[in-house]
Amino acid sequence: MCLLDDIFLTKNNCQLKIKLNPSMNEFKYNVTESQQVALGAKYPYVKRNGSNYFRTFPIGGLISSFIDSTDWYDPHFYDKDDGNSGEFHNDENEIKNFTSKAKIYGESSIQELYSNYNNENGITEYNDYIYEREFRNKVYDFLYKHDVKLFRSTTEGNILIKLMNIDFQPVESLGRRLYSFTATAVEIDEANILNYDKYDIQTIGQYEKYIIYTHEVLGQISGLFGPDDENIINNKIDVKYKRSSNKGFINQVQSLKWLRLEIDTPPYVIIEQNGQLIQATTSS
Secondary structure string (H, E, C) spanning 46-65 = EEEEEEEEEEEEEEEEEECH
Q: How many CB atoms lie within 10 A of CB 163?
A: 21
Taking only the tens of pLDDT, the chain with its 284 residues reads 677 788 889 887 788 888 898 888 889 888 888 888 888 888 888 888 778 889 999 999 999 888 876 555 444 444 444 444 545 444 444 455 677 777 788 777 888 888 888 888 888 888 888 889 988 999 999 999 899 999 999 889 999 999 999 999 999 988 898 999 999 999 999 999 889 888 888 877 776 666 666 666 656 666 666 666 556 666 776 677 766 666 667 666 677 677 777 777 777 788 888 888 888 876 65
- Rounded CA-CA distance 225/100 in Å is 57
Q: How many CB atoms lie within 10 A of CB 133?
A: 13
Helix (H) or strand (E) holding 152: strand 149-153
Residues in Cβ contact with 221 at an 8 Å cutoff, skipping those fewer than 6 apart: 233, 236, 237, 240
In 3-state terms the chain splits into helix, strand, coil percentages (rounded to 5) of: 25, 30, 50
pLDDT score of 276: 85
| Domain spans, the chain | 7-198, 213-284
- Rounded CA-CA distance 138/148 in Å is 17
Quote the radius of gyration of the chain (alpha carbons, Å).
32
pLDDT score of 233: 66
Alpha helices in the chain (DSSP H): 90-93, 101-105, 108-120, 129-144, 193-198, 232-240, 242-246
- Rounded CA-CA distance 98/101 in Å is 11
253 residue type, one letter: V
Residues in Cβ contact with 188 at an 8 Å cutoff, skipping those fewer than 6 apart: 54, 148, 160, 161, 162
Of residues 168, 186, 184, the one with CA closest to residue 176? 168
Q: How many CB atoms lie within 10 A of CB 210?
A: 5
3-state secondary structure of 271: strand
- Tallying the residues shown for the chain, one arrives at 284
Q: What are phi and psi of 201, to 5 degrees?
A: -80, -45
Of residues 62, 72, 169, 64, the one with CA closest to residue 125? 64
Distance of CA 177 to the CA centre of its chain: 32
Q: Is the pTM above the cut of 0.75?
A: no
